[in-house]
Amino acid sequence: MSATIGVIDYGAGNLRNVLNALKIIGATGKLVAGPGDFEGFDQLIFPGVGAFGDCVTHLDDQGLREPITRWLAEDRPFFGICIGYQVLFEGSEENPGVKGLGHFKGQVRRFPKSELKVPHMGWNTVSPRDPADPVWAGLPNQPHLYFVHSYFPVPEDREIIAATGNYGIDFAAAVRRGAIFASQFHPERSQSAGLRIIKNFLDSSRVGAVKPR
């Protein structure tokens, strides 16, 4: 692989780990921090850590909302990670009233109170809905991936759920629609399995590749 990938920089996020992961798989990441930085990229990764509201505020302050929304509407290759997954939805219980990107209908919910500690932190399995999706190529039926989160999206359209996880309750660990893929787990922190997912996504979504259903 020899490609340069746009990596959304909204003033926070797990940028170094994502850039290092891209380097390991033979790609180069270049930061996208303003509306004029999108030219020349065919693929975007939106990594994230932190609060939903803070993330959205930074996107708006940096003028990133409109170009990201347009990119998504055009169904261009996009991989959202953690907060970069959650902000694709309309809003979050973490910061009521704050408007997400709204590409997918649904809200981000907090794990209900139980005997389990929140945040959900550490390794857990996920169950892909469609193992034939090229993003899962070369992985076991239930890959172990790394999570750090207290909230998770609940899509109105259950058909977009690409993988589920379980932490007391089942939750949408990843979604897929067209060229848009997003995950609650952190592939950049999930060792070989996570690197495989990133590479699979980039390889299968590059210009000229056959898009998944």
103: which 2 tokens? 């590409």
* 145 falls within a domain: yes
Which pLDDT does position 50 carry in this prediction? 84
* 213 falls within a domain: no
Which pLDDT does position 5 carry in this prediction? 96
Which pLDDT does position 72 carry in this prediction? 98
Which pLDDT does position 48 carry in this prediction? 82
Task: Return the beta strands (E) in the chain as ranges.
Answer: 3-8, 27-32, 44-46, 78-81, 91-92, 106-110, 120-125, 127-128, 144-149, 151-155, 161-167, 169-177, 180-183
* 49 falls within a domain: yes
Which pLDDT does position 213 carry in this prediction? 45
Which pLDDT does position 166 carry in this prediction? 98
* 58 falls within a domain: yes
* 212 falls within a domain: no
* 80 falls within a domain: yes
Which pLDDT does position 4 carry in this prediction? 84
| CATH code of the domain covering residue 120 | 3.40.50.880
Query: Has this prediction a pTM greater than 0.75?
Result: yes
81 and 186 in contact (C-beta within 8 Å)? yes
Which pLDDT does position 206 carry in this prediction? 81
Domain assignment of residue 11, given as a range: 3-205
* 210 falls within a domain: no
* 211 falls within a domain: no
188 and 81 in contact (C-beta within 8 Å)? yes
167: which 2 tokens? 């932490």
Domains: count for the chain: 1
* CA separation, residue 83 to residues 9, 35, 98, 174, 208 (Å): 12, 20, 14, 12, 29
Q: Which residues form the catalytic set?
A: 82, 186, 188
The span from the CA of 17 to the CA of 21, in Å, is 6
Per-residue confidence in pLDDT tens, the chain, 213 aa:
556 899 999 987 679 999 999 999 999 999 999 999 999 999 999 998 889 999 999 999 999 999 999 999 999 999 999 999 999 999 999 999 999 999 999 999 999 988 899 999 999 999 999 999 999 999 999 999 999 999 999 999 999 999 999 999 999 999 999 999 999 999 999 999 999 999 999 999 986 554 444
